[in-house]
Amino acid sequence: MFQIDRRKFLVGAGASASTLLAAPHVARAAGGKVVVIGGGPGGATAAKYLRRVDPSIEVTLIEANKDYYTCFMSNEVLSGERTLDSLKFGYAGLAKAGVKVVHDLVVGIDGAAKVVTTQGGQKFPYDRCIVAPGIDMVFGALPGYTAEAAETIPHAWKAGPQTALLRKQLEAMPDGGVFVMVAPPNPYRCPPGPYERASLVAHYFKHHKPKSKIIILDTKDAFSKQKLFEQAWTKFYGFGTDKSLIEWVPASKGGKPSAIDVAGMAVQTDMDTIKGAVINVIPAQKAGQIAFDAGLTEGNWAPVNKATFESKKIPGIHVLGDGSDAAAMPKSGYSANSQGKVTAAAVAALLSGKTPPTPAYVNTCYSIAGEDHAFSVAGVYTYDGEKNAIAEVQGSGGLSPIDASDEDRKREVQYAQSWFRNITADIWG
């Protein structure tokens, strides 16, 4: 059953690719200027594929940082199975593809004049603008957890220095110490990510600090891939026993945090105060600040036409990736990569006065939960024009089966590593 489902998913993914590859025939030689803001999976993919769809389009990518660290696979850094440098990608590949790469911070988008301004004083006129703002943390939503607090109690939900800080704290933690993790409310980047993190930290503890324990304080009563995670936790970490390395406390049983005590290294809930040798707070999230500054948001996210990702607030600007409201697609690296291709095809068509092709979208997400043990969720999505909604195609992928063999789980680890190599090459290579 698992192999059949995966085959169906790959067929659907091929359909999405064919939609994009057909785009040059729809929107050949459009010309024009496109400014892409943000060099993460969504923005970098859109920039690269715009040049591939139509080399006559002048594409400028503006990104403040010279290197991008992927959040996907960053939990392996915490377990010691991967180096932080293995998550680092530069922009030479995009430059080679004909994208003009500018390292500067965007401070303004004038949707009326169609001009992007940077902190360095540069101005970039555009015919179409693509904004891939990523996420920011909603500091202050949980009392006591501020941007300053994150320098002591890291969120590590943006890979890079925060990842390194949390890994250093785990290494310095005494055997027998408690690692307290606060899981965020929906929606947030990478729905299974906090629970993969708990799994891989438990893997590290099992081999290096066996007297230690993980307590997950959750704002929710259920989470992505829950049965698969709990099965792995039972197999590897004694879940459900007095000696379990992992304790998950859902909101309904007192897990919802009410405040963070940074000085006391504790998390307060409505029922208790939990002290930790190391605390990891993953707070509520919102679109990156540029989306707010540009007036592209409603609530915490940017509403879009989900066929083209054009903003519903400002015409001519497209918002994609984690910062957009693209439910039912999860906020993930692969979703952003898929949305980048859809947006590239749409923008190229619009610049040439054509109707954008009918979009298809794909996503898959691997979670590594133990030694030679991983599982995944995959899906193909279509666009519902009447509802401006993205809907999953029934039977297009789904979860790894709960009764998969050990060999299947080991194979999924290999798939995960191969997926990482392939998607990062597709985005930045």
Confidence at residue 3, expressed as pLDDT on a 0 to 100 scale = 41
Q: What is the DSSP string of 189-240?
A: SSTTHHHHHHHHHHHHHHHH-TT-EEEEEESSS--TTHHHHHHHHHHHH-TT
What local confidence, expressed as pLDDT, does residue 16 receive? 44
pLDDT recorded at residue 30:
60
Residue with token string 């993980």:
214
Residue 395 CA to residue 341 CA, distance in Å, equals 23
- Helix, strand or coil, per DSSP, at residue 305: strand
- The residue extents of the domains of the chain are 2-134+288-423, 141-281
Ranges of H-type helices in 69-191: 75-79, 92-96, 161-172
- pLDDT mean values, one per 10 residues, the chain (429 residues): 40 42 45 96 98 97 98 98 98 98 98 98 98 98 98 98 98 98 98 98 98 98 98 98 97 97 97 97 98 98 98 98 94 98 98 96 97 97 95 90 98 98 98
Given a contact cutoff of 8 angstroms between Cβ atoms, the answer to whether 162 and 151 are in contact is: no
Fold match flag (2-134+288-423 vs 141-281): yes
**What is the H or E stretch that residue 107 is in?**
strand 106-110
Contact 154, 165 (CB under 8 A): yes
Indicate the pTM of the whole model: 0.93
Query: What's the topology of domain 2-134+288-423?
Result: FAD/NAD(P)-binding domain (3.50.50)
d(CA 111, CA 128): 10
Instruction: Round the CA-based radius of gyration of the chain to a whole number and report it.
Output: 22
Class of domain 141-281: alpha beta
Model pLDDT, residue 396: 86
Helix axes 406-428, 333-351, angle to 10 degrees: 40
What does the block give as tokens for 402? 């709960």
pLDDT of residue 395: 85
